[in-house]
């Protein structure tokens, strides 16, 4: 069975995204928590801050904690995922964090995943290359697992078109790969139509299709 990835661009809020699992990320230096992690923490009455303050979670790369949201977020479960240091954070790190998040989501039997652009609140990496790295990370994990997943990519207000540019560019590079990719949007201001990127019959197995920036 062909692995598949459906990505919906959502210019909304992570806490309102319909999904089996939501993922929020944070850096080691994020005290207090920022971005979607900060918003989720407020919704959860400081639960995430208490985890960090109690040394249960420092924010190191690939460090994670799973909490149940009790209806305070639309997703019943939230995965808080460390990104490491913000210094030097780039496309490779965003891809690795996303790949890790997807593998964890699959292990938790999630069929729908809501996640935001890792580290976007620092402006260390622009929206377009971050979205491309996220798509690469998702596709890599699904190819490794031979699985399918629906992803709701939550992007900052007004950045849907920039995110789409990154997704489209990366999906075109991945078109010869083993994962069928579909990109669409839930944004009343968006004018683009859904894109489908299906694996071609002539694709060579095992080929390394990664662009130099993401190898």
CB contact at 8 A, 25 and 82: yes
Rounded CA separation 53/127 (Å): 30
Looking at the structure of the chain, the number of domains it has is 1
List the structure tokens of 200. 């071609």
List the one residue out of 177, 183, 186 whose CA is nearest residue 205.
177
pTM: 0.86
* Token pair 């950045």: residue: 159
3-class SS of residue 165 = helix
pLDDT digits (tens, 9 = 90+) for 92-112: 999 999 999 999 999 999 999
In Å, how far are 18, 25, 38, 47, 122 from 43, measured between CA atoms?
Answer: 16, 16, 9, 9, 22
> In this structure, is residue 83 part of a structural domain?
yes
Rounded Cα distance, 116 and 78, in Å: 12
169 is written with which tokens? Answer: 């560019």
Across 5-33, average pLDDT:
95
Instruction: Name the DSSP letter for residue 75.
Output: S
Residue 160: inside a domain: yes
Model confidence over 37-96: pLDDT tens digits? 999 999 999 999 999 988 678 999 989 999 999 999 999 999 999 999 999 899 999 999
Mean of the per-residue pLDDT values of the chain: 88
Q: Residue 72: which domain range?
A: 3-210
pLDDT digits (tens, 9 = 90+) for 158-179: 999 999 999 999 999 999 999 9
| 215 occurs within a structural domain | no
CATH number for the domain that contains residue 72: 3.40.220.10
* 196 DSSP β-pair partners: 182
Cis peptide before 69 (omega within 30 of 0): no
Report which DSSP code applies to 143: H
Instruction: Please give the C-alpha separations between residue 137 and each of 54, 56, 121, 143, in angstroms, as whole numbers.
Output: 30, 26, 20, 10
State mean pLDDT over 129-136: 98
User: For residue 137, is it within any domain?
Assistant: yes
């Amino acid at each position: 069975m062909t692995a598949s990835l459906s990505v919906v661009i959502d210019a909304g809020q992570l806490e309102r995204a319909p999904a089996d699992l939501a993922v929020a990320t944070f850096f080691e230096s994020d005290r207090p928590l920022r971005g979607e992690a900060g918003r989720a923490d407020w919704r959860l009455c400081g639960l995430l801050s208490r985890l960090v303050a109690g040394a249960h979670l420092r924010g190191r790369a690939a460090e994670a904690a799973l909490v149940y949201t009790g209806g305070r977020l639309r997703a019943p479960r939230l995965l808080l995922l460390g990104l490491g240091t913000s210094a030097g954070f780039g496309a490779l790190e965003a891809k690795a964090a996303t790949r890790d998040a997807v593998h964890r989501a699959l292990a938790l039997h999630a069929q729908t995943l809501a996640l935001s652009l890792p580290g976007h609140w620092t402006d260390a990496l622009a929206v377009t290359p971050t979205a491309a790295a996220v798509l690469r990370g998702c596709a890599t994990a699904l190819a490794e697992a031979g699985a399918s997943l629906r992803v709701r990519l939550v992007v900052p207000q007004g950045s849907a078109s920039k995110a789409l540019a990154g997704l489209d560019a990366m999906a075109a590079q991945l078109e010869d790969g083993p994962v069928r990719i579909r990109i669409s949007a839930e944004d009343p201001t968006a004018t683009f139509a859904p894109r489908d990127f299906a694996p071609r019959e002539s694709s060579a197995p095992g080929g390394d299709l990664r662009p130099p920036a993401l190898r």
